[in-house]
Chain A
């Protein structure tokens, strides 16, 4: 246990050092691309959390991502200060997730239908926002712009100081720092009593309710946290491009989030982050080459993982590492040979 905590702390420190050093090592173009990857990785964490630890498969995590993005854009244009806009980008999707979650979990909608409903919801938002072209669709000073989206959205500034707009290096620190912070907070949450109860509900809903826990409430809270994180990712994304349009709600992105988590590994937090960055990197390389279609590759990769490596990359690597580790331990300490090293379950990482 102590060894594991120490290893995790070391990894965390390494991550922070790498983030701090990145602007010195990379040119601006790469840094800006990494900023996008970090923002998207926050989105990946939101689904990795609710699906991997709450058993909630949302096909429409883009609904919260998009709401966060639009809430940020509208609020930033109106307030001129990004500070309340970011808060709104967290609060509005969280509130929407609470509403949708109450409607579905308390309505005993089964898992599969839940997925269909979330998919439908994000399509509704896509359609609605897509059709807001024209001057009558504006909120305060912000014209929603329909399928053209909203250009020239103010980017992040120093808290409560709209004049001090962040430079690209600072935006990198914000995005990467947010990613690390969200990761650590989710990790702590999972180690808390609530996190363990949430995993128990995912494992066996009936047993959890027979122990006196209300599965509907637990799932609702998990779902709301996921919505808030996705909304925050939306604000980061809009900050990255200073621009938002309805594709942020689209099916293509919904599919990508699922792919990130499936590839990286369900039931871990690091897996979705790794999967996201990997896929984003591949897609950006394909985009510059134009020989292969990105959809073709992504589709093939997803099918391949479901058929051949359903656990995903990180759990498989962990499994290999544990096996190698236990083999080493066995070789070096024959006196302990009788004690088998227990397989850790996926949810208790």
Chain B
């Protein structure tokens, strides 16, 4: 019974991690049809922002929840203005340029802070279920990911910006004719996606080693989650995070963490083959 509870918590935290990791990417991919291969480096930048500000004496919660998303969001907007906007409609070139960007950011961070693994202590401490230990921070991640999904939903559904950005993604020409500047919408959307990713990096910093090359570990997972989820940002992210998070944690439990990951990748390939449009196109048509 205790084991079941711990396993459930493990699965939930696996799902939450995937939601956090992929939500920003899903916003950028789902709304702008851009494959951002520097996504892992956005996560890394968020983690660095957290570690550096925590080391500078700033409260860890402010570092994770405020400084990380704001920093990466700002960097995202700069990148959109200086690079991405020249490449709209050129899907392959965007992939190449963002891959270059990913190397560039990794190189820049290595040059600035050295190729060392840093970290911050995990806040909140732990609790026990029978013989097993778990941490309150895991619970926090689960609650945070659910909250983020809710906030993004409200943002897209209930705000003017959400409406305008959904309209722009559907038909940029028409939206422009209605007096909205599509360029501005793209810039803001990219910034929001980057900020969400920075937030993910911030809150994951205490539970993972922070180094210049940490992004590589995340980018593939985030991608299969987004691609597996399909075009609906929220329903897709939530459903495919659930599927892959479940597979990852149970797979890891019964084999090793490495093979858990391998099983996730394999199932992702099978999923893309069976549902090329993603889970949401099949089961959640027309949802957000």
Kindly state whether residue A149 has any CB partner on chain B within 8 Å. no
Closest Cβ–Cβ distance, residue A185 to chain B (whole Å): 27
Main secondary structure of the interface of B (DSSP, over half): helix
**Given the complex, which residues of A lie within 8 Å of B100, measured CB to CB?**
259, 298-303, 306
Number of A-B pairs whose CB atoms are under 8 Å? 113
Binding site for B on A (CB under 8 A): 57, 103-104, 107-110, 112-113, 115-117, 119-121, 123-124, 127-128, 130-131, 251, 255, 258-259, 262, 292-303, 306-307, 310
How many angstroms between the C-alpha atoms of A302 and B148 in the bound complex?
A: 34
B99 touches A258 (CB 8 A): yes
How many angstroms between the C-alpha atoms of A300 and B105 in the bound complex?
A: 9
Given A299-B101, A302-B97, A113 contacting B106 (CB threshold 8 A): no
Given A113-B227, A121-B269, A299-B102, A307 contacting B97 (CB threshold 8 A): yes
Binding site for A on B (CB under 8 A): 35, 83, 86-87, 91-93, 95-97, 99-108, 110-111, 216, 220, 223-224, 227, 256, 258-259, 261-262, 265-266, 268-269, 272-273, 276
* 6 A–B pairs (Cβ distance < 8 Å), ordered by A: A116-B227, A120-B268, A131-B258, A299-B100, A299-B104, A302-B96
B262 touches A128 (CB 8 A): yes
B262 touches A124 (CB 8 A): yes
Closest to B103 in A: A299
**Given the complex, which residues of B lie within 8 Å of A115, measured CB to CB?**
95
A299 touches B105 (CB 8 A): yes
A306 touches B87 (CB 8 A): yes
**Given the complex, which residues of B lie within 8 Å of A109, measured CB to CB?**
272-273, 276
- Out of B91, B107, B269, B272, name the residue touching A296 (CB < 8 Å): B107
A310 touches B102 (CB 8 A): no
How many angstroms between the C-alpha atoms of A288 and B267 in the bound complex?
A: 42
Given A298-B103, A307-B86, A57 contacting B92 (CB threshold 8 A): yes
- Out of B105, B227, B265, B276, name the residue touching A124 (CB < 8 Å): B265
- Out of B106, B110, B262, B276, name the residue touching A110 (CB < 8 Å): B276
B272 touches A113 (CB 8 A): yes
A103 touches B86 (CB 8 A): no
